[in-house]
Structure 1
């Protein structure tokens, strides 16, 4: 495979059952293999992604304009996304933006250009090597309004009601606790705040060789939930104006994620949006 990267009672049981349908790789193992894989990507000495060559990374194929790709210095775009969340976020000057699973910081630096010097961008990633790399990229991109924090997206190191917009790019599918991710997203958003995510959703049942394969989890395939599950997770967390829209043509790049199978038989890229009510 190619390199990709607490409520109680009946509600919690339903959450667990819904996510358990996605994969039989347990939560601890999922976190471990994800952290190991993306640590390796972050520290790799020489790859196509390290030189920022957009033609190799393929960011143009998943929705980024050439101007966006060229605006960020080498080393931040690791080619790990499945869409362009900044394109759907409608960011405004002065806003505070949070990126879940920020990797090398590519989307954070693009967001910083949109929110301007009065805005603020926070990236959270659970892999120390990724956070270290992203922090090095801050200086390269002269991005004083961007900071990176080590933490899990299920337990965000961010205060209540402190951000205006949440971004994420092909990361939430990696979480073994997606309902908790959306509850945390709701907690940290200000009233009226919004969530704009690019991710993959499951379109067909996984065969056992995919469902039980840790590489398929880390490769943004076997951890994907269905559209109905994502909508339910968001609604249960409190979000309104929920929309999950498959991305036409995404099979063209999803096929390249695995040399042995065609992941587009089971998953499709999608935009995921929701809003926290103002009151």
Structure 2
């Protein structure tokens, strides 16, 4: 009695147990043998078991390698099934529930304003008393990328309150201006530390590029030092290529005879 289970590309289980009460062996001939002979035959049987077990492990290893190949095919299929992100081609559009959006393949900026009112008994109508603004700047990531952790939202505020509509509009325009540089290209370079947000199974999706990683202050300092070292070494190199400097011959002093 045993148990077997196979989940392709993931798991293989084969469990088999042997019980002495199975009644599947005839002992009548074996009990006629001497204890020494039984020991010899039992040891030989156990050695055969070990050999078969090793063969089974080798087969499991083969299955494991084949399962890895199946997984690779599935990952490639998942990559090819990933749909391009939707975006507005860096144009402002108005969508559902008065949300305004500008987006490209990497970034998305959305905002929406709310008008709070109260009933004015004198005017017999609702009048605005304040305005609220919600805005968000996020990465416009595809579905099921390699990394979906924190940091997808770059900036934003929810229901920021203003007493005057003009003040709210001025503030909103300032936020838009602060990030307008992100909406110049359809596919701006991705910051290196966020590359996995646009990868599926370790491969960057089509149409994307990644920024060169920013150098640390130490790397910049090391480069400057290397330039200085090169400049310090250059005069010595130049002098080494010149012939040795010869001293001028000593000046002989001529004695002069006074003219009579």
Richer in strand (by share): 2
- Using the size of structure 2 for normalisation, the TM-score is 0.20
Flag the structure with larger Rg: 2
- Using the size of structure 1 for normalisation, the TM-score is 0.19
User: 1 or 2 for the larger relative contact order (CA 8 Å, sep ≥6)?
Assistant: 1
